[in-house]
């Protein structure tokens, strides 16, 4: 979604995805004494109002010696006290299918006595994960590593002792990617078929979902690369009792059968949709690496993947 507000001297342009909103700013007249911009965000439905935070600050306000900066690594500062000195800002903390209003304030004066130079606001909604023919899911993965370290003590999610906190960590890293994949598998009904082609194929949660689909009457058949992850894939399938969802492996075609997709079909092999993207069916692929899942509800595209 795209929005713009150009009625005042402070011009705003906003572009939203599912979880990120990009704000681009401009001034019609050259500003005099501009120190930066403050960003306030209001969620329309809940009325929740927050200042967005950055990581840069005025040294004259917080006199930290350069040698000591490592001691405050990851420290965040509210933009109304330490304005952003850029005409481009990104909010990565938005939720899907949510309307927000951003109040942008240009500040002048001095770092210890900031003054309002200009103010404008813009309203924009984020996209839902699935809209029409397409569903787009981006995990956080390593791109959110600094924020993850702050929230979860820099522990690997599988090493977190508290079960509730562990699940929260996995949900945070997934940001809907894993949930979207499982929902796609769960959407297959009795009498339909799921055909998959994978490289890494050893994430036990996904294997259990495919096994459950088979048990409710879905015809499941997955091929995977056997040259690189054959033993690991086979072991994981045995661990969850899902070996029967694989009828054949790929060991004689290419050096890396690097596929990552599932096709949903009707009983007569009529394609319905396809799940694809960059995500390997592994814990690293789903939760660690930066990846995307792309659900395409288009029979003609699904037919090409099935072929």
d(CA 143, CA 300): 34
Contact by Cβ (8 Å): 100, 89:
no
Percent of the chain topping pLDDT 90: 81
Any idea which of 101-115, 183-197, 239-253, 281-295 has the lowest mean pLDDT? 239-253
- Residue 212 pLDDT grade (very low, low, confident, very high; cuts 50, 70, 90): very high
Tell me, what's the pLDDT at 149?
87
pLDDT digits (tens, 9 = 90+) for 9-18: 999 999 999 9
Tell me, what's the pLDDT at 62?
85
- Residue 257 pLDDT grade (very low, low, confident, very high; cuts 50, 70, 90): confident
What are the chain's domains? 2-125 (2.60.40.10), 131-306 (3.30.870.10)
Mean pLDDT of 177-185: 98
pLDDT digits (tens, 9 = 90+) for 86-103: 999 999 999 999 999 999
User: Structure tokens of 52?
Assistant: 């967005």
Q: Is the pLDDT of residue 298 over 70?
A: yes
- Residue 252 pLDDT grade (very low, low, confident, very high; cuts 50, 70, 90): low
pTM, full prediction = 0.86
The CA-CA-CA angle for residues 149, 153, 154, to 5°, reads: 50
d(CA 221, CA 213): 11
Q: Is the pLDDT of residue 73 over 80?
A: no
Contact by Cβ (8 Å): 141, 303:
no
- Residue 267 pLDDT grade (very low, low, confident, very high; cuts 50, 70, 90): very high
Tell me, what's the pLDDT at 280?
97
Using CA atoms in the order 75, 79, 82, 86, what is the torsion angle rounded to 10 degrees?
A: 100
Rg (CA), the chain: 24
Q: Is the pLDDT of residue 235 over 80?
A: yes
């Amino acid at each position: 979604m795209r929005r713009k507000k150009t009625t005042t001297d402070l011009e705003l342009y906003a572009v939203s995805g599912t979880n990120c909103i990009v704000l681009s700013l401009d001034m019609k007249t050259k500003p005099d004494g501009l120190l930066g911009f403050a960003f306030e965000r209001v969620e329309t439905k809940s009325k929740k109002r927050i200042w967005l935070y950055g990581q840069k600050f005025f040294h004259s306000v917080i006199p930290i010696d350069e040698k000591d900066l490592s001691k405050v690594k990851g420290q965040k500062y509210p933009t109304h006290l330490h304005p952003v000195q850029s005409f481009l800002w990104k909010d990565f903390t938005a939720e899907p299918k949510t309307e927000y209003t951003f109040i942008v304030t240009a500040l002048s004066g001095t770092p210890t006595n900031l003054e309002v130079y200009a103010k404008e606001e813009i309203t924009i909604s984020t996209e839902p994960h699935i809209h029409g023919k397409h569903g787009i899911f981006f995990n956080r993965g390593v791109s959110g590593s600094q924020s993850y370290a702050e929230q979860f003590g820099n522990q690997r999610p599988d090493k977190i002792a508290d079960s509730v906190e562990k699940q929260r960590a996995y949900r945070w890293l997934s940001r809907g990617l894993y949930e979207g994949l499982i929902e796609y598998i769960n959407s297959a009904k009795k009498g339909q078929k799921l055909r998959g082609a994978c490289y890494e194929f050893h994430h036990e949660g996904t294997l259990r979902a495919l096994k459950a689909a088979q048990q409710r009457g879905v015809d499941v058949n997955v091929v995977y690369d056997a040259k690189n992850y054959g033993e690991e894939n086979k072991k994981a399938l045995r661990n969850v009792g899902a070996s029967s969802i694989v009828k054949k492996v790929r060991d004689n075609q290419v050096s890396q059968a690097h596929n990552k997709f599932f096709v949903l079909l009707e009983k007569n092999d009529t394609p319905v949709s396809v799940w694809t993207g960059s995500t390997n069916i592994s814990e690293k692929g789903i939760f660690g690496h930066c990846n995307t899942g792309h659900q395409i509800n288009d029979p003609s595209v699904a037919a090409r993947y099935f072929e």
